Amino acid sequence: MTSDPARPFGRVLTAMVTPFAEDGSIDLAGAQELAAHLVDRQAHDGLVVLGTTGEAPTLSDGEQSAVLEAVLDAVGDRATVVAGVGTNDTAHSIDNARRAERLGAHGLLVVTPYYNKPPQAGLLRHFTAVADSTDLPVMLYDIPPRSVVPIEVDTLARLAEHPRIVAVKDAKGDLGAVMQTLARTDLAYYSGEDVLNLPLLAVGAVGVVSVVGHLTGPRLAELIAAVESGDLVKARAVNESLLPVYTGVFRTQGVILTKAALRELGLPAGPVRPPLVDATPDQVAQLRADLADGGIPL
């Protein structure tokens, strides 16, 4: 687990899929095996569970608790485990946060409330209420493509005054807003959009919360180290080597092809739950070609 206040959750984190059995039930042993693989063999110092890539919207509260507890048991002594607890209901998000704290989570990921399009005053109240509900550090998740509403720079500056709101997972695609927020706050930024890992690191992000990290953890660690050492030539080379992987995994919804890749590699994954659908044979064939171009033979 990280002890660096500049990186409250570590450097390389993956938004971990939730493995399912073929009948669609939770595969807790598989979740533990995958978590251990990511930490021990893919250079991760942290995991985010129960996020979008973990298909949290299709998991019951009981299932979410079981997955979080299983992952903590597997790797909680050697990696930072961050629990996705955000919903579009403040009261439910608070309940999730308190449950995650009771189970031993090391931090919370709180997404912008989606669908109901709150104004900035509503975002400020929502995030503050969740942060007030536990003693755990909070990473905000700013992702307008899913939530519609961005967290504006002024709102982020006000939220940064909260002692437990310490980081942002950024998938906004607005480098100018990121730079403005970094200049005005001490929030630790994590890239939440793999194709923008390099530019976000270059303007001051401290790490990544990745989807392709299921497959490329060591190279993401290499990318971060190159940026930090000032070796942008190497950083661009590493980033270029990852571009086919970014393309391959995100030709459709990221969890669909990530699970397909994990299945091809013999790692726990299983099917996706509706309303998602599993990759077709043609999509798997394209994925194989993309990942081979990125140095990952399936």
Pair 53, 21: CB distance under 8 Å: no
**E strand spans, 105-161:** 107-111, 138-142
**E strand spans, the chain:** 12-15, 46-49, 80-84, 107-111, 138-142, 165-170, 188-191, 207-210
Q: Which of helix, strand or coil describes residue 76?
A: coil
Q: Which of helix, strand or coil describes residue 32?
A: helix
- The answer to whether 115 is a known catalytic residue is no
Pair 271, 263: CB distance under 8 Å: no
Q: Any idea what DSSP says for residue 129?
A: H
Q: Which of 114, 117, 169, 189 is catalytic?
A: 169
The reply, when asked if residue 211 is annotated as ligand binding, is no
The reply, when asked if residue 81 is annotated as ligand binding, is no
User: Cβ of 199: how many Cβ atoms within 10 Å?
Assistant: 15
108 vs 209: CA distance, rounded Å = 13
- The answer to whether 141 is a known catalytic residue is yes
168 vs 141: CA distance, rounded Å = 6
As a dihedral over the C-alpha atoms of residue 211, residue 137, residue 9, residue 42, rounded to 10 degrees, the angle is: -50
198 vs 231: CA distance, rounded Å = 12
Q: Which of 115, 117, 141, 190 is catalytic?
A: 141
Residues with catalytic roles: 141, 169
Sequence ranges of the binding site for pyruvate: 53, 209
